[in-house]
Structure 1
Amino acid sequence: MPSSVPGFGELLGQCRTSAVHLELRDSYATTERFDAWQRGERVNWADRQSWWHPYDQLIADTVARGVMIRRARIVSEPVSAYIRWEHYVTHANVTAGEQVRWLPRRLAGGIALPANDFWAFDGSLLRVHHFSGDGAVVEDEITEDPATLGLCVAAFESVWERAVPHEAYKI
């Protein structure tokens, strides 16, 4: 059954000022890129053509038109292998123009957090990700519900305020 949720590119294309992404899981479904990293393969960051993907270009184009894109990750420590890999590949996100921060889970106490990862676009539209137990995306949901938006945007800002910038977060 096809999803009725607009694609990420479409949502980001309509975004005018800000897009924020909160990630709450310590692992997601594995990918070939993750598996390769676990085998010891590394990205040649000097060869941008070898790793620059359409997602990176979408982010770069969006930032170039004045949209601020921020991503915050809440992580358990010591970090999982998946988070270790995410930290490594975040070089691409930052190069594309995302601002990324990391918050150790132990420092997230007292923050009312939503149950699911999400993207908030311009503080007025939410794309909520629903995952299976093994980290695969089950479905995405779009909502403009003011209470849900308020909780999610406030949670993101609280996490962002406490989190460590990517370049300073050491694994």
Structure 2
Amino acid sequence: MTATAVFMMLMAGVLGGHLFGLKMFEITKAKLNASEQARRVLNRLQADLTYASSSRIGAGSLGSFTAVANGNPALGNALQIYPGTNLSAYVRYYRDATDQLFKRMTNGMAKAEVLAGPIREQNVFSYQDFRGTNQIMGSVPNNSVVSVSMTIMQTLTGRTNVSAGELVDYYLFETSVAPRRRE
């Protein structure tokens, strides 16, 4: 009788430890997935931007892009990258205002590629100087960097489709990329 009681308490402890471990695994998996997703997005953006001949920040979507006008802060939801001197060939990264997803497209694409789940900020991209100060369009020097700041929203189970009233985690990712100008 005593041995059975000790065995039952031991099994309850083992089962409780196992369930706790599974819960911790799910929490850790969601955080690791968010980190991996951001790393993939930022590596791809860096690869496109590093060897670009020029880039523009502005307001963009799948069908349109409007660069920030001179005299305004160089902030926007879209970054259009020109790999060469041909301005009709481009790569556009943007935060879609309708579904808040971070997307990438090239000229002529009918559908954009979704790169990251819901992004909290309206303006993801900016030009900054060496001090981290946002630049004004028209006075952006050649040695300015493109700064990317996005907060990815994700549920505690790792899903990116967030329902109203659901608990979410926020993951802030910031980086700055200096394009290598080809002369």
Measured against the shorter chain, the TM-score band is under 0.3
TM, length-normalised to structure 2: 0.25
**When the two structures are superposed, what TM-score results if normalisation uses the length of structure 1?**
0.26
Of structures 1 and 2, the one with the larger relative CO (CA 8 A, separation 6+) is 1
Q: Higher strand proportion, which one? A: 2
